[in-house]
Chains A and B, each alone.
Chain A
Amino acid sequence: MSRIPLPVALYPLPASLDALGIFLAVLTVMLTVAASLAVSWPLMTLAAETVGELRARTSLRRLAVLLARRTPGAAVFTIALGIPAYFTMFVMHGEAMFPAALRMGWWWLAGGILLFAGVGSSFWVSMRRRGTEPSTLRPFLPDIVESYILAFRRRGLERPGLVLTALAAFSFLGFCFLMVSFGVLAERPDLWGPSAPSPDGFLIPLSDPMLVRRLVHFLLGALAIGGLATAWHGADRLSAGETAYGRSTMKFGAVFFAVPIALEAAAGPWLFMAEPAGLAGRMAGGPAGSGGIFLWTGASAALLAAALISLSPTVRRPRPLVWVSAICTLYSLSVMVAVRQQVRELRLADAIDPAARAVSFHQASGLVAAAVVIAGIAALGWMLAATAVSSGQSEGG
């Protein structure tokens, strides 16, 4: 115990910043898809249920059931993918991330409560939609509680748990607001740095013009991804012969995709304009170069996807159009993530101690982690293949 390798702040990075950056980008793309679905699906459930009820559209009410039942999965995978993204980002830029989290400490902790409320209520709604929710706990409850639960269950499925769906939507939106606030704060060394006032743990950068713009940008993107997944499901059902439900679902998904993307055409530049002038210039085609190409091609791909999705409900075989839209959206999302990372790097360039960028790559453990990831992908693939028939049946039912 006499010799200690390095002081804490200088403990080497587990891989080069470039490698970690690529890794973070891949994780962030996957996380953004899951988080977008978790945020958008409760809102789309409420919309489908309300419109379905008002216009007596059975297809939309059926879609509401499906979306409610799928939300817990999106929520769980948001956490499962969010934590490794958190690990990577905090490893790369701990000097900025930890102080930023501490400056908004109580809000940061409240994020955990919102996450629990969101995941819990989405599971409850999902089980209620299956008509199976409270019996789960029956073996563990005293008789009086059990009798209440039985009475509760007898109310039937005409009460689809919209209050809890709204709670899930509110919780996930609140969590997103906090995470976007954290992202904005972390890029503001003047707010978290040593010269900033001592933290009381309640700092939210409300006066930063980026906050509202990034939040709007994220929410529109989330709705679009939720819409795309819904349109995909509609196309899938259509090809399985469920014409009425498939068309209705595709239209619903197409609206939720195309309208937010059209709004993004304004929200994107609005966000970009809030970046500091020098940085915006560099990103839009200056020395940083690739940032500008990314921005233009990403925006074009998203607009192309919106056009194709808008067409898809009107054609006889919409699946190829949905596929191309999905690829365009994935490309757009990936380049937007890459641009965001470039912006973060540029904004934090002066705040990170270069001495903290030493690297000590543990080859063996990196290989073990890679082996676990490959084995995990294989296990996921096998499970999905083994259960593919049953999931097709349950979607139809």
Chain B
Amino acid sequence: MVFPVLEVPFLGGELLMAAISLVFVVSAFFAVGGGTFQVLLERRAEREGDGALLSFLQDWSRFFLLMTLVVGMASWAGLWMTATIVSPHATWALLKIFYWPFMAISALFVVQSAAAFLYHSTWGSVEPAKHLAIGWIFAGSAWLSLLAINGVLTFMLTPGDWLVTGRLRDAVFNPTFLPSAIMLISGAAGVTGLICLVAGAGQENAALRSGMVKASAAFVLPGFILLPASAFWHIENLPSVMRNAVLSEGGLATTLVVVSLSLCLVVLLLGAAGPFRNPKSPSRATALLMLLLGLGAVSSLEWSRGVIRSPYVVTGYMYLNGIDPRNVGNLRQEGFLRKARYASIRGVGVDPVGAGRELFRLQCMSCHSVDGYNSIRRSVRGWSRDVLDTQLEKLDKLRGRMPPFAGTGAERRALASWLLSLSSPGREKAGGK
């Protein structure tokens, strides 16, 4: 542990990070899918001389600008600002390992930003072919940046040969790179199609409305068919421990995947029974419901990736609390508080409860809060000292997806004392069981 820890009450760091990531993922999906959607439709409108569609696309490009440049760019900044606070160890490691890919992504974002502004502001003032080319530059750079970000995301889950070779090529093109790329592309197409459906359903012009619904079907149907298929392919490429967590353990990961796949099916059924069957008079309520369900499907799947990665932030390389797995043995012998650079208490000494509180802060608060999200008080309610001590001793085995406790026996007992004070206040002083 080379960095201090900031306590995030109630929400916990994990939930804060998840919330910002979700906003960024949705806007990134929309940037990738929506960028392609608008140029494809513009090309069709130009070919067919469809003025109503061109006028709609002009409005759409303004909404697109807001979603990608305001929500997208601000959430991209927010994501890194939050990661710095919540997972400093992982952020530093990822920045060092993927420095050059991140520089390439940043260059692509600069190009995307310029293209989005120019695409929006030059409707009717440059030749259609040039306008379309600007749209394609946006779409192309959005696709490339999504693929590069996919390399980082999948590396965290399945670093593959990188753990042995340390080569960047192995880190990016890891075992789940391809299935995950298809999954993200499907999600981008699906989410964009649903946003387009909501926009189309609100149009007054009947021909435009019908055309928009048909265009949205061309994104929604393949997107939500490919999403479950690529999810299964992705699961197939996971290491066996992770695959079992999804397929046979029946825990949160399984639930999330089942929810996601069910929502995909519901979106497809709703679409087939409603707007796609009758594109002339789509219900805006149904379109909105489909959008919400689609976002639920995509976010559940993304959430499940975080769940199956536990207890690691980078599988095999770093635990969620920033501890290097290779150091656990040393820390158990030499003591965590003595080694942690930013510990405010250097040993168990005369205040084991205080030391236990400090151990919780440094080792557990990356996932747990005391009383809020993933509350530790609720988790240990009614537990005795013996149960607490046993759980801590075999944390990685008994509790499934948790890192091992990294500290001496005295430190473990100190943490148990502090947890006991939460479990049943007053008992830790009496030393009762």
Does any Cβ of A come within 8 Å of B133's Cβ? Answer: yes
Does any Cβ of B come within 8 Å of A241's Cβ? Answer: no
Give the Cβ gap from B172 to chain A, nearest Cβ, in Å.
8
Q: Which partner residue on chain A sits nearest B74 by CB separation?
A: A116
Residues of A within 8 A of B122 (CB): 387, 390
Give the Cβ gap from A112 to chain B, nearest Cβ, in Å.
4
Q: Considering the chains assembled together, what is the distance between the CA atoms of A390 and B134 in angstroms?
A: 14
Does any Cβ of B come within 8 Å of A296's Cβ? Answer: no
Residues of A within 8 A of B117 (CB): 72-73, 76
Q: Considering the chains assembled together, what is the distance between the CA atoms of A17 and B110 in angstroms?
A: 25
Does any Cβ of A come within 8 Å of B59's Cβ? Answer: yes
Binds A, one of B85-93, B178-186, B377-385: B85-93
Q: Are A365 and B125 in contact (CB under 8 A)?
A: no
Does any Cβ of A come within 8 Å of B40's Cβ? Answer: no
Residues 90-127 of chain B: 1 if any A CB is under 8 Å from the residue's CB, otherwise 0?
Answer: 01110111011111101111110111011001100110
Q: Which partner residue on chain B sits nearest A86 by CB separation?
A: B80
Binds A, one of B222-230, B316-324, B408-416: B316-324
Q: Are A379 and B85 in contact (CB under 8 A)?
A: no
Among A8, A81, A365, the residue within 8 A (CB) of B101 is A365
Q: Which of B3-53 contact A (CB under 8 A)?
A: 3-7
Q: Considering the chains assembled together, what is the distance between the CA atoms of A366 and B104 in angstroms?
A: 9
Does any Cβ of B come within 8 Å of A279's Cβ? Answer: no
Does any Cβ of B come within 8 Å of A189's Cβ? Answer: no
Give the Cβ gap from B175 to chain A, nearest Cβ, in Å.
12
Q: Which of B132-166 contact A (CB under 8 A)?
A: 133-134, 137, 141, 144, 163-164, 166
Q: Are A8 and B62 in contact (CB under 8 A)?
A: no
Binds A, one of B198-206, B247-255, B257-265, B296-304: B198-206
Q: Are B74 and A115 in contact (CB under 8 A)?
A: yes
Give the Cβ gap from B151 to chain A, nearest Cβ, in Å.
11
Does any Cβ of A come within 8 Å of B325's Cβ? Answer: yes
Does any Cβ of A come within 8 Å of B70's Cβ? Answer: yes
Q: Are A380 and B202 in contact (CB under 8 A)?
A: no
Q: Are B69 and A87 in contact (CB under 8 A)?
A: no
Q: Which of A83-101 contact B (CB under 8 A)?
A: 83-84, 86-88, 90-91, 94-95, 98-99, 101
Q: Are A383 and B137 in contact (CB under 8 A)?
A: yes
Q: Considering the chains assembled together, what is the distance between the CA atoms of A109 and B84 in angstroms?
A: 10
Q: Which partner residue on chain B sits nearest A5 by CB separation?
A: B166
Residues of B within 8 A of A109 (CB): 81-82, 85
Q: Are A372 and B63 in contact (CB under 8 A)?
A: no
Q: Are B110 and A3 in contact (CB under 8 A)?
A: no
Q: Are B77 and A98 in contact (CB under 8 A)?
A: no
Residues of B within 8 A of A119 (CB): 69-70, 73-74
Q: Which partner residue on chain B sits nearest A118 by CB separation?
A: B74
Q: Given A109-B85, A386-B130, check contact A87 B107 (CB 8 Å).
A: no
Residues of A within 8 A of B77 (CB): 79, 82-83, 112, 115
Q: Are B69 and A139 in contact (CB under 8 A)?
A: no
Q: Which of B283-342 contact A (CB under 8 A)?
A: 315-318, 322, 324-327, 341-342
Does any Cβ of B come within 8 Å of A120's Cβ? Answer: yes
Q: Are A4 and B110 in contact (CB under 8 A)?
A: no
Does any Cβ of A come within 8 Å of B274's Cβ? Answer: no
Q: Are A386 and B168 in contact (CB under 8 A)?
A: no
Q: Given A1-B316, A102-B85, A108-B81, check contact A369 B101 (CB 8 Å).
A: yes
- Other A-B contacts than A73-B117, A112-B78, 6 sampled, CB-CB below 8 A, are A77-B110, A112-B74, A123-B69, A366-B100, A373-B107, A390-B126
Between-chain CB contacts (< 8 Å), 20 pairs: A8-B2, A14-B100, A15-B99, A72-B117, A83-B106, A84-B107, A87-B106, A90-B91, A98-B88, A99-B3, A101-B84, A102-B5, A105-B85, A116-B74, A132-B62, A139-B199, A199-B6, A362-B167, A387-B122, A389-B126
Q: Which 5 A-B pairs have the closest CB atoms?
A: A390-B125, A14-B99, A84-B106, A1-B316, A112-B78
Q: Which residues of B are in contact with A by a Cβ distance under 8 Å?
A: 2-7, 59, 62-63, 65-66, 69-70, 73-74, 76-78, 80-82, 84-85, 88-89, 91-93, 95-97, 99-104, 106-111, 113-115, 117-118, 121-122, 125-126, 130, 133-134, 137, 141, 144, 163-164, 166-169, 198-200, 202-203, 315-318, 322, 324-327, 341-342, 344
Q: Which residues of A are in contact with B by a Cβ distance under 8 Å?
A: 1-9, 11-15, 72-73, 76-77, 79-84, 86-88, 90-91, 94-95, 98-99, 101-103, 105-106, 108-109, 111-112, 115-116, 119-120, 123, 127, 132, 135-140, 194, 197-199, 201, 360, 362, 364-366, 368-369, 372-373, 376, 379-380, 383-384, 386-387, 389-391, 393-394
